[in-house]
Amino acid sequence: MSMPEFLTSDTLRMLLFCGKGGVGKTTTACASALAIAQRNPERPVVLISTDPAHSVDDALGGGELPANLRVVEPDATILHDVFVGEHKGDLAAIASRGTFLDDTDIASFLDLSLPGVDELMYFIELSRLVEDEPEAMVVLDTAPTGHTLRLLGMPGMLDEWLEALDSLLAKHRYMLSLFGGDDDNASGFVDEMRERFEALAEVWEDEDLCRCVPVTNAEALSVAETGALLEELDALGLAAPELVVNRMLPGRGSAVLAGVGETLRSRTPVFAPLLSVEPRGMGLLELSGGYTLGAWPEAADEQAIEDPPRVEGDVAMTSPLVLVAGKGGVGTTSVSCALAAHAAAAGVRTLLGSTDPAGSLADALCVPVGAEPGEVAPGLDVVQLDADAELQTLREEYADELETLLESLAGGVDLAFDREVMERLLDLAPTGLDEIMALVRVPELLAQGGYGRVVIDTAPTGHLLRLLELPELIKGWLDAIFGVFLKYQHIFSLPRVEQRLLGVSRGVRALRASLGDPAEGAAVVVTVPTQVACAETERLVAGLERLEIALVGSIANRVMPAGRTDELGRAVAAREAPVLEAYEALAHRVGVPLARVTLGEEPRGAETLALLGGGLVGASPGAQAAHAGRAA
């Protein structure tokens, strides 16, 4: 049996395991890092997580690792503080030379104006590893698709950021050329950052040095997202000749795999089996040892008939606004669609939306979904909240209004420099502003759309918690922006932009108020019966408690059905039993019910999902309609 090339290549310097959340990226990355370290005992191997909800230590189980393998789970907040501490003087000098802002204004922006927190800090850390450890093999366990694409697109974003910083220095350089004098480290900082970032980008773009390894499951939503991911990787010029189809279970998924399109068929599939024992620690080597190079099936196995999932227990649906949260890939999209479809079928006008950058609502419902609410079934509107579009609208309004302002100021001595600086001001806005602008549309839609219920399929755990924490950061940035508008209103007045940002500020307050009152907003947590998912679910619940967001239900999804007679099915059910007991204890502690959904045929389409939703809420359509009407 030949091994996948990404495990045997001697030229590769970096492997990025990417894909939809919950497909097994962490276990696959850990298993591959262990296999590479064992195969090359003299070569240093660095296993690093770029997912804010780190699970690498959970997967490795605290066991003794090969001496040449180092595990890094960086804290983006700490990396940010270190970076700002090292370069605060450079950033302040650059800002003071290029804008009309004084030292007080600059201080209010400095800690808020970096183009990203998580993705930027991880990119900087990776660039440091490439520079400082040229002999090391770096293996990345990445965040789910949407945020990984942000990381991979960071070179373009950073180029804009560095150009913005460079424009702030342009006036200073011009004055030096006229009157002479010595430059200092500010220009050197920009040049150094550009060189480091370009060096990492060059590694990413060289297929002999870097490979992306998408990980997927034999499920329609996972396969659809993987196809879209591969198209994005191709557009970025990143090599991905192989992909891992994980957790293969006999009798499941043959129809899905037979129907993959050319984008996937052009890659070599590496099949990884569902193991009877959850792979953790050095046992992960069994996973990599079970990799099988294969081919895509040409037709479905007609004997592979899957039962529909069954539901045991129910969750409460009393809040008009419901966030469906969980580790990536545990089924938050299917559950969100199921709860929304059932509420609509029960007579409650419902809006279903997604804040996940790689949202899969369209694939689950088998209908197109746009950036504005559209009806996909009687009483059910669906929207994919588009963070990029929200921020782009702000940028366009800013540019139009700024152009009018600058024309009124024509004749100023420094206009050529001030124009570029002012045009790039939004390039220094904190990442997350776009996602917040999209998320704050939710209470607006709830209030204006006449909906009795709004169900939101959220981004995976780490990014959801960061997003829910962002209002304070965004509030600080908005306060700084409004402070500048007020202080310099005699020369810098942009009333339309100010009104839009004021709307964002009000929306942030409304959203936090809604989620702080269970009569107005609450969360449902979805998970699966694995040790790694259990650890992350406990952190998610703790995070929701810390943020004082009400939890009204929990769902253990994809539970192995009881009564399986095959040896693998019995073994998996046995390994899941203690995890399910832990979920029961957690649900009891926080005072919410726990529902179980068995592993079965993937539910798709509004009618099928509505049936699943009916099982989850444990009420007849009429009772549910009356109940939801009272809640609304």
Known catalytic residues are 51
How far apart CA 511 and CA 323 sit, in angstroms, is 12
Q: What is the CA radius of gyration of the chain?
A: 26
Beta bridge partners of 551: 523
Burial class (CB in 10 A: 0-12, 13-18, 19+), 53: buried
Residue 149's nearest CA partner among 180, 114, 123, 183 is 123
Which pair of structure tokens corresponds to residue 12? 């590769």
Total Cβ atoms within 10 A of residue 347:
17
* DSSP secondary structure letters along 334-351: HHHHHHHHHHHHTT--EE
| 437, 501 Cβ separation under 8 angstroms | no
In whole angstroms, give the CA distance from residue 148 to residue 105: 33
Sign, CA torsion 405/408/414/415: positive
Buried residues in 555-589 as b, exposed as e (16+ CB within 10 A): bbbbbbeeeeeeeebebbbebbeebbebbeebbee
Is residue 382 within 8 A of residue 373, CB to CB? The reply is yes
Q: What are phi and psi of 454, to 5 degrees?
A: -125, 125
Segments of 327-421 assigned E as strands: 350-354, 374-377, 380-384
Token pair belonging to 278: 């959850």
Q: What whole-number distance in Å separates Cα of residue 240 and Cα of residue 242?
A: 6
Q: Which residue is listed with tokens 């990014």?
A: 463
Judge contact between 263 and 231, C-beta under 8 A.
Answer: yes
C-alpha to C-alpha distance for 158 and 215, rounded to whole angstroms? 27
Q: Which two tokens stand for residue 300?
A: 């479905």
Q: Are 164 and 91 in contact (CB under 8 A)?
A: no
**Residue 600 and residue 252 in contact, taking contact as beta carbons nearer than 8 Å:** no
Count of CB atoms within 10 A of residue 169's CB?
Answer: 22
- Name, in order, each residue with C-beta under 8 angstroms of 191's C-beta and a sequence gap of 6 or more: none
Closest CA to 141 of 290, 270, 302, 31: 31
Q: 338, 610 in Cβ contact below 8 A? A: yes
At 148, list the tokens: 């990984």
Distance CA 623, CA 430 (A): 45
> For the chain, how many residues are written?
632
Structure tokens at 397: 């309004």
**Contact call for residues 243 and 264 (beta carbons, < 8 A):** yes
Max CA separation in the chain (angstroms): 87
Give the 3-state DSSP-derived string for 144-167, with helices as H, strands as E and coil as C.
CHHHHHHHHCHHHHHHHHHHHHHH
Task: Write down the H helix ranges in 206-279.
Answer: 220-236, 254-258, 262-265
